[in-house]
Amino acid sequence: MSSERQQAYLNLINQLLTCPSGYEAEILKTHPELLDDGLVAAMLEEADNLREQGKLDKANWLKNFAGLLGKVDGDFLAVIPQKAEADRLLAQGNKQNNISQFLEALQFWEQALTIYREIGDRDGEAGSLCNLGLAYNSLGKYDRAIEFHEQSLEISRQIRYRQGEAASLGNLGLAYDSLGQFQRAIEFYEQSREISRKIGDRQGEAASLGNLGNAYQSLGQFHRAIEFYEQSREISREIGNRQGEANSLGNLGNAYQFLGQFHRAIEFHQQSLQISREIGDRQGEANSLGNLGNAYHSLGQSHRTIEFQQQSLKISRKIGDRQGEAASLGNLGNAYNSLGQYQQAIEFHEQSLKIKQEIGDRQEANSLGGLGLAYLYLGQFHKAIEFYEKSLKVPQKIGSHQEKAVSLCNLGAAYQFLGQYQRAIEFYEKSLEVPREIGNREGEAKSLYSLGNAYYSLGQFDRAIEFHEQSLEISREIGYREGEAASLCNLGNAYNSLGLYQQAIEFQQQQLEISLKIGDRQGESIALNNLAGSLLKTNQLAQAETAFRSSITIHETVRYELLNNDHKASIFETQVSAYHGLQKVLVARSQFNEALEISEMSRTRAFVELLQQTLLTNELPTNNETNKLSIPKIQQIARERNSTIVEYSIVKPEIYIWVIQPNGNITHRTANLEPLNQQNQTLKQIILQARVSIGTEETDDAGNKIQLESQYKRDETGRFPLLQLLHQILIEPIIDLLPTDANSPIIFVPHYDLFLVPFAALQDSNNRYLIENHTILTSPSIQVLEITREHQNRVRGLRQAALIVGDPTIAAKFNENPYKLRQIPRAKEAAEAIAATLGTQAISGENATKVAMLDRMLNTRIVHLSAHGLLDDFQSSGIPGAIILAPSGDDDGAIHAVDILQLKLDSELVVLSACSTGRGKITGDGVIGLSRCFILAGVPSIIVSLWNMGVISAKLLMTEFYQNLARGDNRAAALRCAMLTTKARFPSPIAWAAFTLIGETETLPLSTEKIDSRSLKMSLPDDAKPEEIVAAFSKLLKISEPQFVAELSAIDVGAMDNVNVIAERIKDWCETKPQIEENLENEIYQAGAGGTDSDAPEEVVREFYETLKENKIRLGLSRDSVAVEGPAPAVGEEGPGG
């Protein structure tokens, strides 16, 4: 071959090496005379020369191009356009991948792969497979990624492409790293590094060293990781790879941050940022800014954190890096969490989560954890747990030992707030293992102070102090200011509980100083609140008042900044201790009226703001003083209503009681709860047992059915011990201040669990019920009375028909677990009787759909719903509750609390004659269940049932109520008279005391139809099971009036009768005793209203005999026929009979 032709080949080769991708065909067309086997040979020879010079990329490209031309039998030009198209598709996929559009990148790379395979371009095939593996890795599909990388590795080895082999090995390491298989990842990284060293690929070697550092960092071996990062940086510097150097500096910064050396971390991140800016690497610049923000966040400098994260976010959005955008949004969420701005934190985390889900980024666990933390701070603990559990389940890229530890710790915190301390400790101990194994000092400090908190909650103060001191020491060593403040706070609490108040004050003052320096408003508020509590204990009342008021000011600011009102109510629940503490101080200083203002201020702030926004204005209050209810205003409300207002505030170990009389006099009294504490009883336990004593079914916090202790059962005189105890606690301290006129209304403003108290059924020492002496209604707060009165004035005059709904069809889903609802027996019949009273038609069955009823409610004066009510927080909105109407289409028929809130109702009265509608989450915000939602929707008066009612008594009570309204009684008086009428026929409180009136008590003029009293009677249900009849009779034996108990106990049954025989005897015996029969029927319907399954027949029979025996012994009746000998016979077995 002549030297001239050889030089021509080299010139053509140089043109090919320097031309833009896709122009190769045009260049070859201009030199047809050189397109022969000699060109291929020259290309292969030049590729070897380039490899020896270390120009590996050009060498590999040229070798691959020569191989491609050698396969087409001299028709070189035919294959070039196809290769150009494949190269274009490969490049387009790279662009999509760079902006985190992984799915789109996959499409381009799959097309490129197909063409490369068609034309036999093995190098292009290997490159496409490599890229596909990287995309699947980014999508979290690690097994699929491994498949592609293994194919790429095999091809690279077949064509002896060592650089491609090293790249594939490194990528396999990344996939196993993502699976958390760090040791296997290290094996691949080491193989990749060895090949890069042998072929002189310094850049590849530096990349392998960086990957090795990442793997060891994931293992928690931070010092070893730093060694690899330093080596990687050194090589990048030597070869002039500025981008590689910047990456190594960023990795070094992250490693030192994990070690708690935050200032050193900042130095490295600043160097990385400077290089990225100098070389114009925008993505690297965004990463460095984000890393700087994270480091400052660890130092507690949240405002500086936000500055850097916002800069990072701006760049990521500009260059289209969605993965970087999601990371910046999540980091901003973390910063706003630290600042106590939880609404903004939630918004940022939700945006981050949305992007991660859209692009398939499995790091969504971080966003879920951030949302969990925000809801934890907001006091929505069940919702927090839901997010934490989701975050643990996501198959994330776990170097996430760190994230796992955080989620475990936060799960512990959520369970601790729920009072499940042992479960919290289990999570804290698991979370502590991880940082100790990997040397994460910050994580260790967090887990230690969390464990201290749990032991504090268990009353093990000395053990708590041990953990907090360890946490404090670590936090100070690494400069973790937030952790230091938290440990000081916890130590202050522990020493306060030990009665060492001066030491507590010293720790609390140190915490306050740090919180002020780092801008932690929540921490500042907590420090002030705790400090005030210690000052109160040492009788430094003036200083305590100042500190409490300062804490409240911060609380109010944080709460005011929350846009979501449900979040306001939740966060308020976690902050009420400052309001209670201030009430204590003011009472101790005999400033009783000022204490009433704080009590009123504390109970319904978020609720009242939303009421004002919904009913009165279109704007939010401009400052926190807008809603403060003054003493003159409170007196005015009592005068205008001509009512006595009784406001309770539970400030343990006491209940503060204020009585505001119609003449404006305000009197403060106190009820001491210490005697209950001495008996290991809480007020809530007494209230729930009191309800059980009249026949309701209640569960404790763990969901277990509450069994009534024998000393609390109704005695032979008709005395309910616990109803009398509650009367003693709640009524007797103020009995001299209550009106003597039974028609003069008393408005009770309960607090916390007092919303569960059936005030009408409270019993004095003479066995008289409160409803016999007084007209009663309730309100969430005094201020709510003012607002609903203003709304009442606007809706007055509306004269549309009533809407009566009874026994709507229940969707199949609610027949199953966990609801197990069934149609309410005879509810349709009861609704029809009530509708007839009001001259309208009842809507029931499949016609009572949610869609139709919501529409009808909008223009209806009276809404009466007789349906199941559930207390679940169906939509995780923070507002529990739903009324179950009939389904339609895809709608399950459940009217959620959120649905009600979105209505603008002009109804004057809503009656919820449903199951448990008066229950719900009882919070310091002082609002119960669904009643809150109807008040917010604009309804001035709501009647709710506090437990499941029997259909017969409910029908009688409500028809009486509407007829009393028609004759001119106000709403409270009409309800009182209806209760007393019902009581005369159904003496047990369970049959008449369930309803409570909330809100307005004005008259409600309406016309009613005369009802035949016979229509109010119901016969014993034909489909009643024998065990239901026997269980209802047992219940009557427990709860009935004394004269009934004696008569009931005289029933003649054999000692071993089975359930069928006993049921028949009961039915026969009741036929001659109409009132007992009616009460039995009502009890059967009452039991069915809950929609739950009855007990097993043998258990029902056993309980019947035991109850009958107990009553006969107590009443001195013969007991020969009720001796229980062994187990009762099962259904269908014949006993000896009587």
pTM of the model: 0.66
Name the domain count of the chain: 7
- Do residues 866 and 911 both lie within one domain? yes
CB-based burial, 1093-1117: b 16+ in 10 Å, e otherwise: ebeebbebbbbbbebbbbbbeeeee
Confidence of residue 1033 (pLDDT cuts 50, 70, 90): confident
End-to-end CA distance of the chain: 127
Q: Are 109 and 93 in contact (CB under 8 A)?
A: yes
Based on the fold, state whether residues 888 and 920 are members of the same structural domain. Answer: yes
Within-domain flag for 229: no
Cα 135 to Cα 127: distance, rounded to the nearest angstrom: 13
Minimum mean pLDDT range among 520-529, 589-598, 737-746:
520-529
Structure tokens at 829: 């019949």
Q: How confident is the model at residue 604 (pLDDT cuts 50, 70, 90)?
A: low
Residue 1021 falls within a domain, yes or no? no
The confidence band for 211, taking pLDDT boundaries of 50, 70 and 90, is very high
Stated as kind and residue range, the H or E segment containing 135 is: helix 122-138
Q: Does the structure show a pLDDT above 60 at 610?
A: no
CA distance 984 to 735: 25
Choose the weakest-confidence range: 117-131, 332-346, 402-416: 402-416
**Does the residue 1094 lie in any domain?**
yes
Encoded amino acid at 768, one letter = R
Mean pLDDT value across residues 1110-1135: 46
pLDDT at 401 over 80: no
Of 335, 356, 381, the domain-final residue: 381
* Report for 74-83, 97-106, 663-672, 1027-1036: range of highest mean pLDDT: 663-672
Block residue for tokens 């070389």:
279
Whose CA is closest to 246, among 284, 207, 283?
284
Instruction: Express each pLDDT in 218-231 by its tens digit.
Output: 766 788 899 999 99
CATH number assigned to the domain comprising residue 911: 3.40.50.1460
Predicted confidence (pLDDT) at residue 614 exceeds the cutoff of 80:
no
Residue 60 vs residue 191, higher pLDDT? 191
Whether residue 61 sits in one domain with residue 18: yes
- Over 50: is that where the pLDDT of 745 sits? yes
**85 φ, ψ (degrees, to nearest 5):** -65, -40
Q: What is the edge-to-edge ordering of all strands in the sheet holding 666-672?
A: 666-672, 654-660, 644-651, 745-749, 775-778, 995-999, 941-945, 909-912, 862-866, 803-808, 842-845
At residue 995, the pLDDT reads 93
Q: Does residue 886 share a domain with residue 989? A: yes
More confident residue, 40 or 970: 970
The mean pLDDT value for 735-764 works out to: 95
More confident residue, 664 or 571: 664
Secondary structure (3-state) at 817: coil
Query: Of residues 811 and 399, which shows the higher confidence score?
Result: 811
Mind listing the pLDDT tens digit for each residue in 443-497? 888 899 899 989 998 999 999 999 999 999 998 887 778 889 999 999 999 999 9
Position 572 in a domain: yes
How many CB atoms are closer than 10 A to CB 710?
7
Residue ranges making up the domain that contains 796:
787-1016
pLDDT score for 402 = 60
pLDDT tens sequence across 773-782: 999 999 988 9
Whether residue 146 has pLDDT greater than 60:
yes
Task: Return the CATH number at 429.
Answer: 1.25.40.10
Confidence at 209, pLDDT banded by 50, 70, 90: very high
Tokens standing for residue 647: 């406001």
Q: What is the pLDDT of residue 1098?
A: 82
60 and 39 co-located in one domain: yes
Contact by Cβ (8 Å): 884, 876 = no
Lowest mean pLDDT among 413-427, 547-561, 897-911: 547-561
Same domain, 375 and 467: no
Question: Is residue 50 over pLDDT 50?
Answer: yes
Q: Say yes or no: 972 and 1114 in one domain.
A: no
Helices (H), 630-761: 631-641, 674-678, 683-693, 721-730
Is pLDDT larger for residue 313 or for residue 377?
A: 313
Q: Is the pLDDT of residue 1040 over 70?
A: no
Let me know whether 609 and 636 are in one domain: no
* Strand ranges for 306-369 from DSSP E: none
Residue 854 shares a structural domain with residue 982:
yes
Q: Quick one: how far is CA 740 from the chain centroid?
A: 47
b (16+ CB within 10 A) / e for 446-469: bbbbbbbbbbbbeeebebbbebbb
| Beta strands 745-749 and 666-672, pairing class | unpaired
Shared domain check, 966 and 1064:
no
Which residue would you say has higher pLDDT here, 153 or 872? 153
The total of other beta-carbon atoms located within 10 Å of residue 716's CB is 12
Give a yes or no: residue 799 inside a domain. Answer: yes
In this structure, is residue 893 part of a structural domain?
yes
Mean pLDDT of 731-744: 97
**589 close to 541: Cβ distance less than 8 angstroms:** yes
* Within-domain flag for 623: no
Q: What is the pLDDT of residue 76?
A: 58
**467 and 338 within one domain:** no
More confidently predicted of 100 and 546: 546
Q: Is the pLDDT of residue 971 over 90?
A: yes
pLDDT band at 1102; cut points 50, 70, 90: confident
Q: Answer for the pair 729, 671: CB distance below 8 angstroms, yes or no.
A: yes
Residues 405 and 498 grouped into a single domain: yes
Average pLDDT of span 333-350: 87
The beta strands (E) that lie in 816-899 are given as 842-845, 862-866, 868-870, 882-884, 894-896
pLDDT at 795 over 70: no
Interval 867-901: pLDDT, tens: 888 765 554 445 567 889 999 988 899 888 778 87
Whether a cis peptide bond, with omega within 30° of 0, leads into 818 is yes
pLDDT, the chain, mean: 83
Residue 1133 within any structural domain of the chain: no
Summarize the confidence of residues 7-30 as an average pLDDT: 80
Provide Rg for the chain, Cα atoms.
38
